[in-house]
Amino acid sequence: MPNGNYTSRARLPNLRGELLPESTELELEQSYVAILYAQLDAMRAYARTRLREVLLETGGTPQARSERESFNQMYTEDLTRYDAAEHGLCFGRLDLDADTAEHAERRYIGRLGILDEKNDYEPLLLDWRAPLARPFYLATTAAPDGVTRRRHIRSRNRQVTAITDEYLDLAAAEAAGVERPDGGVGAEGALLAALNAARTEHMNDIIETIQQEQDTIIRSEHRGVLVVQGGPGTGKTAVALHRAAYLLYTYRRQLAKSGVLIIGPNATFLDYIGQVLPSLGETGVLLSTIGDLYPGVRATRTDGPRAAELKGALSILEVLKRAVRDRQELPDAPIQLDFEGHRLTLDRKAVSRARGRARSSRRPHNQARPIFTTAVLDELAGQLAGAIGTDPMGGGNLLSAADLTEIRDELRGDTGIARAIGSLWPELRPEHVLADLLSSPDRLAVAAAELSADDRAALLRVDRDGFSAADAPLLDELAELLGVDDTADRERAKRRWRQQIADAQDALDILTGSAPQDLEDDLDPELLMAYDLVDAETLALRQQAAIQQTTAERAAGDRTWTYGHVIVDEAQELSAMAWRMVMRRIPNRWMTVVGDVAQTGDPAGTGSWQQVLEPYVAQRWRRTELTVNYRTPAEIMTIAAQVLATIDPDAQVPRSVRESGVPPWSVQVEPGELAATAAVLLAAAPHPGTVAVIGTPAICAELSHLADQRTRVLTVHEAKGLEFDDVLIVEPQLLLDAGPHGRNDLYVALTRATQRLSVLHSAELPEVLAGLTPQPAGALLRRPAAAGRPE
Ligand SMILES: Nc1ncnc2c1ncn2[C@@H]1O[C@H](COP(=O)(O)OP(=O)(O)OP(=O)(O)O)[C@@H](O)[C@H]1O
């Protein structure tokens, strides 16, 4: 964090209306902020008026329509950004000394950039992402970078409510009459206020208090894979989201077309973080889980741990390949086909020859299908030609090449023959192949012959409905193995495209034709004609773009879409198969990968970034680390550290930035008293604030009735990435016993609280939690609900 060593504060008048000395400063800031809001209002009014005009216009040339469409989009986006900037428009100010700036300079920092049109377009407000705003996050007393004072400005409803100053150089501090206080309270004040605030169900942006180590990652210019490793609560998610906003600001042209994809662990998490980017005025980002990344399929099933592990491992690739080959069948007995009074036969050998030809093309199954079909038709055409074209006089075959082509076409149109080909080499969809495979012991026995009977049983399911999150990468892989026979679609698209170019050409002709006649004979070389500005193909492209949806919408529906940048959060949870699916969407490998290998809970998740990334980028990835915990108070982190030591004795425990003053505690009750005690404890959680009960799926089912508006009952998987003011962990031993990642799960559960943590158990308390303060259950239950918590 910025180390401001000399601080002063300005406050509002007290209740008697007496002003503190600094209030003049506050009033000055109020007048400046009022100017900024007036500018914002003017920008908003302009965008609204222009948008209205654009919407009212109708008809016109295709070019005019396309221009209107892009203006429509531009003004709508502007209005979204202005609305997002309304709260806390300006939150900071930098004073720079005359040596650094050309002259002593002030820079105001805020949610968007505002220029002064009347004054040579001088910046009135700098967007927090602009390079000139950077010292706000980086300058320290040791490296002030020309900054003499950093000011935090807090406002509500357009009114400045407080200002806090940090002096980064001694002379400036002395000139302001500020004494050296007890170590950097200035910036910490804003940070601690943000961290201590009660949580809601949505994450907030952190642009007012981004810390130095976070800023370096947010603005990293690294063009390959940037790994952000960090313990719980170190701001990895916050940093990832602000990096997305930064990249969209800095590389807008490039990323607006290709889009940014953010992958999170589950839908609850995406909902939790979903407001951050819109609050920063950025809407063009697609948020998705791995389970929902395959278009048209939503993950509705849950796999057992072994099935998830098997589906996540690369060895499943061979199973999928065999499942597809298994559908390219050879008949046991010859297939008899009747065609116009002739009997034709497809025997095993002929089909095997056709299959060999198709397979040796090395095309995906559906794209190799036409080759198989042609080979079969050749075979049948040969048989038919033999029957009808042989010269009875012994003159060989009398049919010409054209006759043979005609025969092949007729055979192709025969439904019996089409059916036979369809049964031997069917056109396949990924969803059907996977559902068929997983619901059929016979198919599994062939495709997964290498697996043990137990593993095949783990994969087998009784019905064909729905898919799990671990199935999505398999569907994606099958889509690659099957391919799409899009010959007909491509033909149609080509025809449509030719038509669009022809229309655009007409439009250009009309435009040019409408130019004054005298120009026809004596073309003014200075006058740009429509042809000079745009050719028919470009115009058609523009029109096409205008008809389509936003980048994020188009990307969501297109499996083969490739993004400009991909961010993976809780990346330790991704299986090897999930990485394949993600990497397919980002061939340029410009990614931000965020996670903590100590929190891995998925049976197919990773324990090493090197292992995951090496196959895709070799050594070309960079690791960064976040080390400060902004969420979990020190008292809770001391307990969590014990668990971390059992996961990885060498792991660095993130340093908590604050203490809560409440030691985490435990209470033991009889098994039958779990629910009643939990209810008492929850009722005692202070308002306002959010509460979570965390346990195994079975415990969650038992306690689900405790969920209400502010209390959620969650498994560790569901709680991943989230945080709550109060956390109650129930039966921690069951979490430990649940699987190979039990310790990681307990670590995740322990680190979700921003204020208070309690543990409720009937079984013995795990030894690793011995540091909790025990609380006698009887005393707790006898007390009235509001006093349920120990002081
Ligand atoms: N610079 C900051 N200013 C204010 N709040 C911050 C800052 N950095 C992080 N936080 C807050 O700390 C909390 C934890 O951040 P975040 O969820 O991003 O951590 P994380 O590293 O992703 O945690 P986990 O690994 O447990 O999911 C959030 O409430 C976030 O807003």
For every residue of 48-116, DSSP letters joined together read: HHHHHHHHH-----HHHHHHHHHHHHHHHHHHHHHHHTSTTSEEEEEEE-TTTSSSSEEEEEESS-EEE
Distance CA 704, CA 662 (A): 27
- Distance from chain centroid for Cα 750: 25
**ipTM of the complex, rounded to two decimals:** 0.99
pLDDT digits (tens, 9 = 90+) for 109-140: 999 999 988 888 889 999 999 999 999 999 98
Distance CA 278, CA 257 (A): 18
Q: Atom 26 in ligand 1: which residue has the minimum CA distance?
A: 232
Place of tokens 């322990």: 750
Contact assessment for residue 720 and residue 570, using Cβ atoms and an 8 Å cutoff? yes
**Ligand 1 pocket check for 209: Cβ under 6 Å:** yes
Q: What is the average pLDDT across 569-574?
A: 93
Cβ atoms within 10 Å, residue 394: 6
For position 379, what pLDDT does the model report? 93
CA dihedral 587, 358, 323, 328 (to 10 degrees): 160
CA of 209 to the centre of ligand 1 (A): 11
Ligand 1 atom closest to 199 (CA):
29
Cβ atoms within 10 Å, residue 762: 16
**Torsion sign across C-alpha atoms 304, 305, 309, 310:** negative
For position 505, what pLDDT does the model report? 67
Average pLDDT across the chain, whole number: 85
Inter-CA distances, 207 with 81, 92, 277, 549, Å: 15, 10, 11, 30
Place of tokens 């740009």: 528
* Residue 625 CB contacts under 8 Å (≥ 6 apart), including other chains: 228, 229, 230
Residue 520 reports pLDDT greater than 50: no
* Residue 767 CB contacts under 8 Å (≥ 6 apart), including other chains: none
**Ligand 1 pocket check for 191: Cβ under 6 Å:** yes
**Ligand 1 pocket check for 632: Cβ under 6 Å:** no
pLDDT digits (tens, 9 = 90+) for 168-222: 877 777 776 666 543 344 456 778 888 888 777 889 899 999 999 999 999 999 9
Contact assessment for residue 655 and residue 627, using Cβ atoms and an 8 Å cutoff? yes
**Torsion sign across C-alpha atoms 260, 266, 267, 268:** negative
356 labeled binding residue: no
Helices (H), 326-460: 348-360, 365-389, 401-412, 415-424, 430-438, 441-447, 453-459
CA of 234 to the centre of ligand 1 (A): 5
pTM of the shown model: 0.83
**Ligand 1 pocket check for 259: Cβ under 6 Å:** no
* Amino acid, res. 642: Q
Which of 9, 427, 407, 426 is closest to 179 using CA atoms? 9
**Torsion sign across C-alpha atoms 73, 74, 77, 83:** negative
**Ligand 1 pocket check for 572: Cβ under 6 Å:** no
CA of 73 to the centre of ligand 1 (A): 33
> What are the backbone angles phi and psi of residue 351, rounded to the nearest 5°?
-65, -40
235 labeled binding residue: yes
pLDDT digits (tens, 9 = 90+) for 409-419: 899 999 999 99
**Ligand 1 pocket check for 232: Cβ under 6 Å:** yes
Distance CA 667, CA 447 (A): 51
User: Which has the higher per-residue pLDDT, 525 or 699?
Assistant: 699
CA of 611 to the centre of ligand 1 (A): 27
Angle at 661 between CA 656 and CA 664, to 5 degrees: 80
pLDDT digits (tens, 9 = 90+) for 326-351: 999 999 999 999 988 889 999 999 99
Buried b (16+ CB within 10 A) or exposed e, 115-134: eeeeeeeebbbbbbbbebbb
Q: Is 567 helix (H, G, I), strand (E, B) or coil?
A: strand
CA of 625 to the centre of ligand 1 (A): 14
Distance CA 644, CA 600 (A): 12
